[in-house]
A = this chain, B = another copy of it.
Amino acid sequence: MTNEQREGRRSSGPRRSQEIFDATLDLLAERGYEGLTIEGVAERSGVNKTTIYRWWPSKGALLGSALIGGRQLDLALPDTGSLRGDLEALLRSVTALLTTSPAAEVAIATLGAVTHSSELAGHVRGFFAERLAREQPIFERAVTRGELPPDTDPMLLVDLLAGAAWLRIVFRQLPLDEHFVTRAVDTVLTGAAPAVRTGGPSAS
């Protein structure tokens, strides 16, 4: 995250918002969405609960801000010099987030809560949109380097890779190794089918 982004966040919240966000995600990881309360966040962060309520009228609203502003889900944006390198680093970060405490507990608890709260679902949608916006430079650089056509849809590439990681870790509960990362990126970049055979019915 850039300093500018952190400043931008700070200006739209109370002074100690970083502590509030971190406490919110810690409590979510420990207790789940049901166990998350603004009182608990106040206690953990040492910020008066009336201050928190002044900025966030509900725990859903607070969690929405914390998902974006908390350190637990922060993602270092790679700049390796190649699209392949950047996507592998990005996918490695996503798999690390989904398998390492406390980010994994935060992600899984949020996932569970999305299905129970339409308000929270809106915040999760905002989280994914913000993350994609931050990932745009990866794709802009790739287009500039001639690694991707200008009409590439970054969201599609991100969703294929992150969705596969998510499905594999959360639903299949299978370990993700480096082999998964390199093969998934390779498939998305160069395709699973030999180029000469993918034209359609002529291959059959």
Contacts and interface: CB of A to CB of B under 8 A. Distances in A.
Interface string A89-128: 0000000000000000000110111111000011011001
A15 interface: no
A173 interface: yes
Nearest to A183: B156
Given A114-B170, A115-B111, A115-B112, A191 B191 contact: yes
A124 B197 contact: no
Interface string A125-160: 100110000000000000001111100110111011
Contact of A197 (B146, B187, B198): B146
A198 B142 CA distance: 11
Contacts of A192: 148, 152, 156-157, 188-189
Interface residues of A, number: 61
Classify the secondary structure of A's interface with B: helix
A194 interface: yes
A27 interface: no
Interface stretch (A43-51, A55-63, A76-84): A76-84
Interface of A: 32, 81-84, 108-109, 111-116, 121-122, 124-125, 128-129, 145-149, 152-153, 155-157, 159-168, 170-173, 180, 183-184, 187-195, 197-198, 200-201, 203-204
Given A114-B171, A147-B204, A157-B187, 12 more contacts: A84-B200, A125-B172, A125-B173, A145-B203, A156-B183, A160-B160, A160-B161, A160-B187, A163-B165, A188-B188, A189-B191, A191-B191
- 4 smallest beta-carbon distances between A and B, as pairs: A163-B163, A112-B115, A191-B191, A163-B167
